[in-house]
Amino acid sequence: MIPVCRLDDLPAGESVRIDTTPPIAVFNADGELYAIDDTCTHQDASLSEGWLEGCLVECPLHAASFDLRTGRPTCLPARRAVRTHRVTVDDGMVHVHVASEVLAEVAAEEEGTAA
C-alpha cells in the first residue's frame, strides 16, 4: 500500500503520478478514484498527463484511450491493457494497492494445478 496524497489535493478531473517502478497514475474521475500504470502500452508517454473524460484517459502522444476501470484500450494505436490498481482513502489520505504481477502469476499457476 502506497500513500499518494491527501484527497483534497486531488480534485475531480486531476491526476498525479507516483514514482514507483513502473510509475503509477492516480486519477480523480468526477469523484471516483482510479489507479493504472502510468506508461502508455503503445510507446513512451505518461498517461497522468493525458486527457481525462469520464472514465477514459486519452494518451497525450498518439491519442490511444484507456478505460480506467479495466485498463483496456478503447482505440488504437494501443492494443495492450495497462495494469489497474486498487485505490482506497483512509482518513483523507489516498492509497494505492499495487497489483502484484508475481502474486497474480502464482494465483494463476495454483488455479492451473487445481484444475
- Determine, following the binding rule CB under 8 A, whether residue 61 of this chain makes contact with other proteins: yes
**DSSP 3-state assignment of 98?**
coil
Give the CB-side neighbour count of residue 90, counting CA atoms within 13 A: 9
- Cell numbers for 22: 513502473
Contacted entry of ligand FES, other proteins, none for residue 19, CB cut-off 5 to 8 Å set by kind: none
- Determine, following the binding rule CB under 8 A, whether residue 7 of this chain makes contact with other proteins: no
Among 35, 50, 67, 82, binds other proteins (CB under 8 A): 50
Look up cell 504481477; give the residue: 101
Site residues (vs ligand FES, CB under 6 A): 40, 42-43, 45, 59, 61-62, 64, 77-78
